[in-house]
Chain A
Amino acid sequence: MMPESGPVEGSFHLMGGDFTNAGSASSELKAKLVKFGVAQNIVRRAAIAAFEAEMNVIIHAVAGTLHYLITTEALTITVTDMGPGIKDIKLAMQEGYSTAPDWVREMGWGAGMGLPNISKHSDAFKLDTVVGEGTTLEMFFYIKERNADG
């Protein structure tokens, strides 16, 4: 599961408003996970969750980073941004609720499915947010416990 050299980590820069390159970090991360031999069901779920987190930065924040850490225990993806923060986490977790502007919704984003999708596709996640400063989202994918199911 983990490369023989030990834990692997890396990160990608994310630019707010950069819709042209949206998904690039998540695609690269997906390719890396495949290369490192991470189980297919984890790669599939991690790619979806990472892409949603990446989009949240592109839609709402000025800039951010996507960091990944692979150990024998878990894959941890941490997305940190300088952005507006989340005023009401309970509302943001509610499917269908979104603060995205209309033009973003016209692109088919901003359906209020981002955080619900992240919740559904990760084994656990942690959200730290400060209004007016930014948000840190940690997503965990357990490698040992969840090998067999999808």
Chain B
Amino acid sequence: MLTVSAIAEKLGLRVAVQGDLSEIVSGCYISDLLSDVMAHSNDHELWITLQTHPNIVAVAVIKGISALILTNGRNPEPATVKKAEAEKVTIMISPHSTFELAGLLYPMIKDSLPPQAGPS
């Protein structure tokens, strides 16, 4: 099983807020529209976004997201950090663009899943 900490380590992500890094990762969803994430993401997925405001934490909690990753080196707003700490939601920062990060993540997640299942 792939975990948040394994991904953070392999991809050199900076952990801005540490929740439970032993959470498993079964897929990934990418969107900056919060209602889209609400509709289409699943439990135990990573969520890659450029949004940095506190509502991303609320969406992550409601959806059971394993960890948030902000791309292009974007930092969460101070209020977001505070909320994520309270809710124990992991937020990580990648220097890569969303496209590059998705490309790096895809084989990692795919290889961690049973052969018949692809990343969601």
Q: Which residues of A are in contact with B by a Cβ distance under 8 Å?
A: 19-20, 22-24, 26-27, 30, 44, 47-48, 51-52, 55, 107-109, 111, 113-114, 117, 120-121
Partner of B51, one of A19, A52, A108, A120: A108
A120 contacts across to B, CB distance below 8 A: 39
Question: How near does chain B come to A53, taking the closest CB pair, in angstroms?
Answer: 12
Question: How near does chain B come to A98, taking the closest CB pair, in angstroms?
Answer: 10
- Return the CB mask of B34-56 against A: 1 if under 8 Å, else 0: 11101100010000010101110
With contacts A23-B62, A27-B61 taken as known, whether A114 is within 8 angstroms of B35 at the C-beta atoms is: yes
B1 contacts across to A, CB distance below 8 A: none
Report the bound CA distance from A47 to B63 in whole Å.
8
Q: Are A111 and B33 neighbours in the complex by a CB distance under 8 Å?
A: yes
Report the bound CA distance from A120 to B63 in whole Å.
16
Q: Are A113 and B33 neighbours in the complex by a CB distance under 8 Å?
A: yes
Q: Does B59 contact A (CB under 8 A)?
A: yes
- Return the CB mask of B80-96 against A: 1 if under 8 Å, else 0: 00000001000000000
Partner of A107, one of B39, B53, B79: B53
Q: Does B102 contact A (CB under 8 A)?
A: no
Q: Are B36 and A24 neighbours in the complex by a CB distance under 8 Å?
A: no
Report the bound CA distance from A113 to B38 in whole Å.
10
With contacts A19-B53, A107-B51 taken as known, whether A113 is within 8 angstroms of B35 at the C-beta atoms is: yes
A20 contacts across to B, CB distance below 8 A: 54, 79
Q: Are A111 and B35 neighbours in the complex by a CB distance under 8 Å?
A: yes
With contacts A19-B53, A19-B54, A20-B54 taken as known, whether A109 is within 8 angstroms of B34 at the C-beta atoms is: yes
B42's nearest neighbour on chain A, judged by CB, is A44
